[in-house]
Amino acid sequence: MPKKPLENLTESMFYVLMAFGRGPMCGIQVVEFIEERTAGRIQMGPATLYTILGKFEQENYIEEVSVEGRKRTYQITSRGMIAYREEVERLQRCVADATAEMTARLYSGESLRQERGLQVCPC
């Protein structure tokens, strides 16, 4: 079990934390949330789900709030919320970097060269 917060969530982990933004829920509800939120793009199997839930509980990103029979309900912790917000920011930085890079190339005329498959100035 890691001491430091996970510094790079996977897409699956990200959506699991997003689910708990809706409030406490059990594993199955998380899967349903993800399927709905991503319009079916992401379908998480039980192995991935419970692996992540286990890790998140160790990591103190979520905590158990009730057990009814087999059904375990979790809620997100403040630590989990921080991790989620940081992940949103990381994703935004990636997109921003991509955008900045595209813009830079446009202004340097690089896009023309790329389109034509040229390695050097076409002049």
Partner DNA sequence: ACTACAATATCATTAAACGATATTGTCTAA
Partner DNA sequence: TTAGACAATATCGTTTAATGATATTGTAGT
Judged by CB under 7 A, how many residues of this single chain contact DNA? 27
28 near its own copies (CB under 8 A):
no
Contact flag: residue 54 with DNA (CB under 7 A)? yes
Does 75 engage in binding with DNA (CB under 7 A)? no
Residue 22 makes contact with its own copies by CB under 8 A = yes
DSSP codes of every residue in the chain: --SSPPSS--HHHHHHHHHHTT-SEEHHHHHHHHHHHTTTS----HHHHHHHHHHHHHTTSEEEEEEETTEEEEEE-HHHHHHHHHHHHHHHHHHHHHHHHHHHHHHHTHHHHHHTT-SS---
Binding site for DNA (CB under 7 A): 2, 6, 8, 10-13, 26-28, 44-48, 50-55, 68-73
